[in-house]
């Protein structure tokens, strides 16, 4: 799994049937302390994530392992919205506090 921050959306009106109804989000990978890496991915959203949220991503065959996404043609999926991150005994991200 990898951490990322949702920074935008990708809109595609022409797509395969199995992608219809799914949001495609532009996600910037981040380090555990929240520093952006400038490595962007387009991910299928399986959990209702929104702009600015920190999310957990899975890639490869794992991207299709959830019941929601098992028939979706993707190699990157958002599988969770992160509530908090603790690194070396210190909370470095807390969604409830906005940082």
**Domain residue limits, the chain:** 2-97
Task: Give the distance, in angstroms, between the CA of residue 90 and the centroid of all CA atoms in the same chain.
Answer: 23
**Distance between CA atoms of 54 and 51, rounded to whole angstroms?**
9
pLDDT in tens, 15-66: 888 778 889 999 999 999 889 999 999 999 989 999 999 999 988 766 556 6
Distances (CA, A) of 28 to 3, 23, 33: 9, 16, 14
Q: Using 50, 70 and 90 to split pLDDT, how confident is the model at 73?
A: low
If DSSP codes are grouped into helix, strand and coil, which group holds residue 96?
helix
2-97, what's its fold?
OB fold (Dihydrolipoamide Acetyltransferase, E2P) (2.40.50)
The radius of gyration computed from the CA coordinates of the chain, to the nearest angstrom, equals 14
Interval 81-97: pLDDT, tens: 999 999 999 999 999 98
Give the pLDDT score at 64: 59
Pairing verdict, β 76-81 and 36-45: parallel
Q: Output the pTM of the full model.
A: 0.86
């Amino acid at each position: 799994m990898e951490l990322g921050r949702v920074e935008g959306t990708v809109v595609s009106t022409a797509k395969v049937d199995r992608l219809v109804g799914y949001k495609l989000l532009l996600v910037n990978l981040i380090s555990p302390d929240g520093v952006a890496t400038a490595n962007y991915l387009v991910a299928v959203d399986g959990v209702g994530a929104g702009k600015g949220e920190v999310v957990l991503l899975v890639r490869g065959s794992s991207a299709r392992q959830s019941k929601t996404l098992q028939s979706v043609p993707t190699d990157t999926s958002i599988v969770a919205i992160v509530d908090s991150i603790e690194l070396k005994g210190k909370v470095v991200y807390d969604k409830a506090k906005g940082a």
